[in-house]
A = this chain, B = another copy of it.
Amino acid sequence: MTDAAVRPQKPATAPRTPAGGAPTAAHTADEAHEPRIDIGGVTDLLLGTWAKTRREAREMIKDPVFWQIPGEPMAEHRERILKQLHLLVERGASGRAYPEEYGGGGDNGANLAGFEELVLADPSLQIKSGVQWGLFGSAIHQLGTKPHHDAWLRDAMEMRLPGAFAMTETGHGSDVAAIGTTATYDPATEEFVIHTPFRGAWKDYLGNAAVHGKAATLFAQLITNGVNYGVHCFFVPLRDDEGNFLPGIGGEDDGVKGGLNGIDNGRLHFDRVRIPRFNLLNRYGDVAPDGSYTSAIESPGRRFFTMLGALVQGRVSLDGSATTASALAEYIAITYANQRRQFDSGAGTDEVTLLDYGRHQRRLLPRLAQTYAQYFSHDELLQAFDGVFSGRTDTPEGRENLETLAAALKPLSTWNALDTIQECREACGGQGFLAENRMVDLHHDLDVYVTFEGDNNVLLQLVGKRLLSDYAKRFQGADAAALAKFAAVSTAERVFHGAGLRQLGQSVADFGLTSRSVELGLRADQQHELLAGRVEQMVADVAAALRPAAKLSQDEAAALFNTHQSELLDAARAHGELLQWEAFAEGIKRVEDDGTRQVLVWLRDLFGLTLIERHLAWYLLNGRLSAQRAGSVTRYVDRLCARLRPHAQDLVDAFGFAPEHVRAPIASGAERARQDEARSYYADLTASGEAPVPEKKAAKARAN
């Protein structure tokens, strides 16, 4: 019999549901004096600012019509996802971000929060929604003006107009500025001519392009009066009502992918396709009938980044959905590890529950701490996004900080998702490899998150360059002595900005019950000092190494930069880790329940210490940790794992997933039922007196 997929088989083994405020009961008498978390309270904390929308979305996707079907052939999967998008329209889940005058909700933060939860149903649903409403529709909304909104926004929102977002080309992915597609203005007819000059300029990997897209928001070099004004976005109809390409347009199916096969990715090319002048999405740059170009943003570079910046929500939402996917894998693996037994302990008693093994704790619990940190940092990112897009904090600086923050967090959370899901799948052995237990499909689908919407390494390089430029500003005109002081070991203050999360120079203090985590100088404020000091030192080191570049030729300067590229990316990564840690520490401040706070402080310590352990060589080499303190880091991580082990189930229950979100048979309680059945079989056999005698015992009996 296959395990029941959704509803637990026995009430006793059901995941405890959030208890709505009351701390949960102790699991054993011994634990009655131990702190416990208030599961419901933690769920509220994790769901964050837009908890209400997240709960609505989760409620909606309890409907099996939204659930991924393992092994579903690509063609069927694509059609089913298309239907699901229409269902989202019906259920009012498609337009939360659009202006109210077009029937939308005008709430940017809620919109992303709602979409992120769709990853629990099927990542293809989340991403196809993102293509339609977050990219195609959003380009019309963010890059177009009222006439464009009037023309297309409602149709896009209500899925009468499925569209592709035609930015990436086969020959240019991350380097959007260098795309080859041209849009040349013809004043004679007041049209733009869209053209693909060579194979590398085909648009590629576009969701909705292979089958469903009727139009595209297409990025091309805008050329008018013989001048190239750089990349702009155009609305280009693709297919007629029968689904045939319009004249001059051709394309190809990208075929089977490593995951997300519910989305019809494809390639497009254009042979001198003419579109009306009207179709230039002209919020940031316009062409008059006579072909003269105008823009409120004079700098071509700033204009380009402003246009791209309008589309940051893709990166923001990936940070959130990667975190949710990690949480789901951890719920499954930890629930299973709490029920599954393997090998007796050598003490001749019961077999050992997996989560009681030291190695198993080491594999799962630090990753759980990581996911908690990401929940907190993602909510801050989402707030920053909502601030800018609602207009409240929509300044050039606010936008730049938002983009840097998204570029720092998205790489970490998407890589962590792959790492966490893989470890969780391995921790479940053969069960983990079965598609019914979710983790392999999660890994397949999330795989591309690390290279799309900005390749992770390219994003980290953006962050690194921002850190360098902030550093340079800070020390403009400063002499060598100031620099040396900056790089000194003792510096704990943050001297450059936290990309939107923290104010310049503000030190983070008051981390809750630090007295309980005082061990060998690795308390919260010292964790912060170590993490922040590392970022500062790494940036200073790269800056010092790049200093000679000013006197070099461009070629030599590029070569010098290249030599230090890896270090700069590592510094950017360290910066992202610091932001996550700070957000976790901030989040704990909002906790009022003592037991909850204590356990979350341990978990935050585990996160911080795991980061420090990962970079231990750096701390030793740079004299930031003595050998003695460094040696204690690993022991402390081990102790924190053991200390958190009794709370592991509570901590994953606090993710607040219902059985309809989990769906993995091994996390349904079926494993506990199997273990109980096996144990009672052997107990009964022993009681019956008919149990076969082990060979060794029989031999001994014969010998006596």
Contact = CB atoms under 8 A, between A and B. Distances in A.
Interface of A: 1-2, 70-71, 73-74, 168, 170-175, 178, 180, 184, 197-201, 204-205, 221, 223, 226-230, 252, 254-259, 261, 300, 342-349, 351, 356-359, 362, 418, 422, 425-426, 429-430, 432-436, 439-441, 443-444, 447-448, 450-452, 455-457, 553-555, 557-558, 561-566, 569, 613, 616-617, 620-621, 623, 627, 630-631, 638, 673-675, 677-678, 681, 692-696, 698
Contacts of A358: 562-566
Contacts of A228: 692-695
A172 B681 contact: no
Given A255-B71, A258-B433, A631-B621, A343 B175 contact: yes
Contacts of A1: 199, 252
A617 B638 CA distance: 17
Contacts of A444: 258, 440, 444
Contacts of A698: 227
Contact of A168 (B171, B430, B617, B677): B430
B362 A566 contact: yes
A9 to B, nearest CB: 11
A692 B226 contact: yes
Given A226-B692, A344-B178, A630-B617, A677 B199 contact: yes
A255 B435 contact: yes
Contacts of A693: 226-228
A70 B256 contact: yes
Contacts of A229: 695
A554 B346 contact: yes
Contact of A300 (B74, B168, B429, B695): B695
Nearest to A295: B695
Contacts of A452: 430
A628 to B, nearest CB: 9
A158 to B, nearest CB: 30
Contacts of A254: 434
Contact of A558 (B2, B227, B346, B554): B346
Contacts of A252: 1-2
A639 to B, nearest CB: 10
5 contacts: A70-B255, A171-B675, A227-B698, A433-B451, A566-B638
Nearest to A362: B566
B434 A450 contact: no
Contact of A348 (B168, B198, B554, B673): B554
A170 B696 contact: no
A67 B621 CA distance: 50
A451 B226 CA distance: 62
Contacts of A457: 359
A171 B300 CA distance: 64
A282 to B, nearest CB: 16
B73 A71 contact: yes
A112 to B, nearest CB: 23
A425 B695 CA distance: 52
Given A342-B174, A565-B357, A620-B627, A255 B434 contact: yes
A430 B451 contact: yes
A434 B447 CA distance: 11
Contacts of A435: 255-258
A232 B256 CA distance: 44
A650 to B, nearest CB: 22
Contact of A430 (B173, B345, B557): B173
A98 B261 CA distance: 43
A554 B347 contact: yes
Given A227-B695, A620-B630, 11 more contacts: A71-B74, A227-B694, A300-B695, A300-B696, A347-B558, A358-B564, A418-B422, A426-B455, A426-B456, A440-B444, A620-B621
A526 to B, nearest CB: 18
A131 B346 CA distance: 32
Scoring A455, A617, A620 by chain B CB atoms within 10 A of each residue's CB, the highest score goes to A617
A200 B675 contact: yes
Nearest to A174: B342
Nearest to A680: B198
B677 A200 contact: yes
A403 to B, nearest CB: 18
A174 B360 CA distance: 15
Contacts of A617: 613, 616-617, 620, 630
Contacts of A455: 426, 429
A342 to B, nearest CB: 6
Given A204-B430, A430-B451, A258 B71 contact: no
A426 B450 contact: yes
A257 B441 CA distance: 9
Contacts of A430: 168, 173, 204-205, 448, 451-452
Contacts of A349: 555
A317 to B, nearest CB: 19
A347 B257 contact: no
Q: Rank and list the top 10 A-B pairs by shortest CB-CB distance, nearest first.
A: A258-B440, A71-B256, A616-B617, A256-B435, A228-B692, A347-B554, A617-B617, A345-B558, A358-B565, A70-B256
Contacts of A694: 227-228
A263 to B, nearest CB: 11
Contact of A695 (B170, B204, B230, B554): B230
